[in-house]
Amino acid sequence: VGDDEASVLGSFGIDDIRRAADRIAPHIVRTPVQTSIEIDRIANTRVFAKAEALQTTGSFKFRGALNKVLGFEPGALTRGIVGFSAGNHAAAIAAAGAIVGCPVVVVIPQGAPAAKIANCRAWGAEVIPFDPARQDREQIAAAVVSQRGMTLVPPFDDYDIMAGAGTVGLDIADDLHGRGVIPDVVVVNCSGGGLASGVLTVMEHYYPSIQKYIVEPAGHDKMARSLAAGMVLSNPPGRTTLMDGINGPVVGRHPLEVLRRLNVTPLQVNDDQALRAVAAAHEHFRLVVEPAGAASLAAVLFGQTDFAGRNIALVNSGGNVDSVVYRRALQLADSAHG
């Protein structure tokens, strides 16, 4: 291990995540870890599903954004904060900005779910839409930074963001400890890698022999390819999926480093599997989950990997979903029942 790599590896770990947990605790919903005999029957295993769709703004993203914003020097907040995202990170920084009392600008792709855009506006943020096929969201955000003096809150490629997301894992470990359960497997959906790197760091710390999986949309497996190549790769532009929340263009450099070290196994799910998982979460967890947020549940319930007889921890990570997509998920499940 060279000096460079050691310094990177040494700079993110369980202590960062614990500090984040202490910092954000007063503002965070302690979301339950859910179990269901019906889900366990479908999966032929025991599932422990963190209901993070119940978090403030409807996704885990609030944890990372809040950890970042609470760590800023007061001077960095005077002119406000700006972020770009498919929607959930945007709402998260809108809410984090509202808590510290600073202006917020969010850069969101046209065509993002209306629920996500409404979520940002409800928290008082200014929304700047862009065309993802023709415009670069980082450039738009950079222009806001230079023109208005705002501070960028990155969506995932940042240790504070990763540490905030990782507090989901601390909650899970604490809950499972209370039940006397040792998880054999952890499955986390993955886009830029903030949630996966944070949660899997915690799981590795508490359960050194746990099997660690990440889940991406089929055909949008930028992290799987990045892990294989050992370098940051992108998804090809222009492809769509109902899992919009984990269809960002590129993986994060820091999350990639952490996930390589953790020896994770990548999985993929398609839109149909994600919709069926949305319906299963509806019926058996009474939880509203968006397709991207249900990707890990989809992999466990409907994927190729056989998890029979294992204790599985997963995260239902977000619940901001357009009504038309949700109704389609329920209809799909109804026709499968009938």
The least CB distance from residue 137 to its own copies, in Å, is: 25
Question: φ, ψ for residue 242 (rounded to 5)?
Answer: -70, -15
- The token pair that represents 260 in the structure block: 């390589």
Q: Between 273 and 312, how does the x/- string for binding to its own copies read (CB under 8 A)?
A: ---------xx-xxxxx-----------------------
Residue 333 found at the interface with its own copies (CB under 8 A): yes
Q: Please, which residue, 223 or 314, has the CB nearer to its own copies? A: 314
Q: Is the Cβ of residue 30 or residue 177 nearer to its own copies in the bound state?
A: 30
136: its two tokens: 């670069």
CA distance 190 to 236: 16
Q: Mask: binding to its own copies, 171-210, rule CB under 8 A, as x and -?
A: ----------------------------------------
> By CB under 8 A, what part of segment 56-95 binds its own copies?
58
Q: Considering only CA atoms, which of 167, 165, 159 is closest in space to residue 252? A: 159
Q: How far apart are CA 277 and CA 254, in angstroms?
A: 30
- Give the integer Cα–Cα distance in Å for 313 and 287: 16
d(CA 316, CA 297): 7
Residue 271's SS3 state is helix
Given 34, 45, 151, 167, the residue binding its own copies (CB under 8 A): 34
Q: Count interface residues toward its own copies (CB under 8 A).
A: 34
In this complex, which beta carbon is closest to its own copies, that of residue 126 or of residue 138? 126
Helix (H, G, I), strand (E, B) or coil at 243: coil
From 9, 14, 99, 118, residue interacting with its own copies (rule: CB under 8 A): 118
Nearest Cα to 51, choosing from 39, 35, 66, 37? 35
Q: Which residues bind its own copies (CB under 8 A)?
A: 29-32, 34, 37-38, 41, 51, 53-54, 58, 115, 118-119, 122-123, 282-283, 285-289, 319-320, 323-324, 326-327, 330-331, 333-334
